[in-house]
Structure 1
């Protein structure tokens, strides 16, 4: 069996076979079988890590991937169930909102959307806008809006 580079998709795959396909490039005895160390440039296979061992290449790739990962901050969940969201309000606040909805159609619309939602995303502009509308009519303070969104 011989070992070949398959570069048909502008990526390098290493294939071991007795029946190579057209366009495959045979590895020399000095070339590594670690496909991740190679890239394709102008239809040719180029070692992206010359002078490094395969172990060093794997360590460098792992380091690059770790640097690209976004750190996740352990914060409160930004997506809540409807009950979790409503529990962020006092009963008095909710009573005031439901009472106001009887005469203010926009508040009624906000509550209807809340009822139909599968979940409440605290970062959704509609959620933020709805809470700000409640503050604009005096049902919540701006500080309470920020607490609910925290």
Structure 2
């Protein structure tokens, strides 16, 4: 039985058979049977992407690359606080100003009512960010303070 590279779909698979099909390239006896170590070059030829490395080293390198990629693409965990933790990010003076403004500004009152009803506060939630920006727009917080509260 012989081993062949199947390169028909733009990917490399290694097939063992005595009846090769068109588009298969026979492996040399010195070539590894680890398909993951090979790639197709610009001319469509099979090349070893890890020359000089053992199959074990290739597998370790691939695992390392996959772990790094998974870490870079993994969504960051949401930054969630209890309501008390969130409110403790404000000074008492800021909170007094917000509660006073909520008596005459319906949008601020709505934000505070939603805060009261929330189970938790997600600092990355657009409603949280928008609520804090409305406090800044009303002159109750500076933009720098909004960023500090969200940090």
TM-score, length-scaled by structure 2? 0.62
Aligned residues: 144
Partner residue in 2 for 1:53 = 54
Once the two structures are TM-superposed, the CA of residue 39 in structure 1 deviates from its matched residue by 0.4
Cα shift readout 1:79-138 (whole Å, capped 9, x = no counterpart): 327xx2464215x77786566445323224545776898975423454323213224435
Task: Say if 1:3 and 1:27, in contact at 8 Å, map to a contact too.
Answer: yes
Partner residue in 2 for 1:105 = 106
Shift of the 138–45 alpha-carbon distance from structure 1 to 2, 3 Å rule, reads same
Structure 2 gap ranges (5+): none
Partner residue in 1 for 2:28 = 28
Cα shift readout 1:34-75 (whole Å, capped 9, x = no counterpart): 1111101222211122333223333443454566544x9xx9
Task: Say if 2:3 and 2:17, in contact at 8 Å, map to a contact too.
Answer: yes
Partner residue in 2 for 1:123 = 124
Shift of the 131–54 alpha-carbon distance from structure 1 to 2, 3 Å rule, reads same
2:87 to 81, 86, 89: 89
Partner residue in 1 for 2:7 = 7
Task: Say if 1:79 and 1:119, in contact at 8 Å, map to a contact too.
Answer: no
Which segment is superposed worse, 107-116 or 124-133?
A: 107-116
Q: How large is the Cα RMSD of the aligned pairs?
A: 4.0
In structure 1, the residue corresponding to 2:87 is in which secondary structure? coil
Structure 1 gap ranges (5+): none
